[in-house]
Structure 1
């Protein structure tokens, strides 16, 4: 599947307490966070695979200001009612709070890279493109949450910025099974590769064996 030489980076999207942890904002809003929690072990395994193969790791961290100056409702007068209601009901992932922290199970190391983002895409008004280019990265491996929102939006923007893209299916999750499956189908048909963590690890091993030979 990885028939070409690539220089990949792992992008872990928004695995923060506010979205996935018991006692976080989504939990307080009554949202079903169990689907998000179930993929954390796969994300942890994927991180280990990438560390073992010296693949750079980027985390995104969705951050909101206490003042509310960066809320979507400041710029968008037309929003789905469900999203607008969540925004107005409870501030999520406020800067310098436990809610905004990346979950303990997959905490970044000092050698990893953390991108602060204000919108769905990791590329919107952030440093990520510059950092990736400086490392010579040409392929982005995506995981995290929510599959059909921030993960898919970031993946599309990565593709449109000239990167090869891959989605690790067992290391991402959506609140909606329908939306999750739709994203996987869209990525397969139009953007790049979809594979599981074990498949990705196997492909990396095959590439290493080929180099040794």
Structure 2
């Protein structure tokens, strides 16, 4: 399926200091944050292209309330290091969008406490209000929040395009595995250049 400007939104998933910065909480947990930084340039190009084409830009932020009451099993049981280092705490620098991708006036920011951008958020009502039926998805991490969001989008019959060179994962094998799964049944895998040409 072709990428179009009409009825399309750009979804920028979790490009936060926690994931991209050396002083962020993922680095503090010993995860290779530097593996995620290559997604920044691709996201920047897509955001600029969307603004120029009049395509709505929607950001998500993975954020936990004080005490991780909304965190569920992930910070409280499966990955307790998240809680130990205070990762992604509401109101913290760690939870903010990285400086290179600061939202512009008119961009939409949606907070979530689960990998999917749809679960327990305002995303779907906003997409409905904007008349969106096609999503271009970029951000991190490919195998967790991007893939979970893409699966949920595909199951809701959004034409879903995940951008291979504007997404990143801590481990390249998981990045590739996620893209293969998305492209097999949930949507399409595209490149930044393909999107820019479509929106030019």
Cα pair distance change 1:165/1:21, threshold 3 Å: same
Q: Which residue of 2 aligns with 1:17?
A: 17
Q: Which residue of 2 aligns with 1:46?
A: 46
Tell me if 1:102 matches 2:97.
Answer: yes
After TM superposition, the score normalised by the length of structure 1 is 0.88
Measured in 2, the distance between the counterparts of 1:142 and 1:96 equals 25
Deviation string, structure 1 residues 34-88 (Cα, Å, up to 9, x no partner): 11112201110111111111000000011112222112238986x4xxxx24234
Select which of 169, 173, 177 maps to 2:168: 173
**Structure 1: gaps of 5 or more residues:** 206-213
Select which of 168, 175, 192 maps to 1:197: 192
Measured in 2, the distance between the counterparts of 1:121 and 1:192 equals 16
Matches within 5 A, 1:78-89: 79=78, 84-89=79-84
Q: Which residue of 2 aligns with 1:211?
A: none
Question: Is the deviation greater in 139-148 or in 183-192?
Answer: 183-192
Measured in 2, the distance between the counterparts of 1:21 and 1:38 equals 12
Q: Which residue of 1 aligns with 2:34?
A: 34
Deviation string, structure 1 residues 8-54 (Cα, Å, up to 9, x no partner): 10000001011111211011112101111122011101111111110
Structure number with larger C-alpha Rg = 1
Partners of 2:68 and 2:83 within 8 A in 1: no
Q: Which residue of 2 aligns with 1:137?
A: 132
Cα pair distance change 1:75/1:47, threshold 3 Å: closer
Measured in 1, the distance between the counterparts of 2:115 and 2:192 equals 24
Deviation string, structure 1 residues 84-116 (Cα, Å, up to 9, x no partner): 242343221111110010001000112000011
3-state DSSP of counterpart to 1:67: helix
Select which of 174, 177, 198 maps to 1:182: 177
What is the deviation of 1:124?
A: 0.3
Partners of 2:75 and 2:81 within 8 A in 1: no
Deviation string, structure 1 residues 150-184 (Cα, Å, up to 9, x no partner): 00000111111221100011000001111111111
**Structure 2: gaps of 5 or more residues:** none
Q: Which residue of 2 aligns with 1:208?
A: none
Measured in 1, the distance between the counterparts of 2:124 and 2:104 equals 21
Cα pair distance change 1:61/1:74, threshold 3 Å: closer
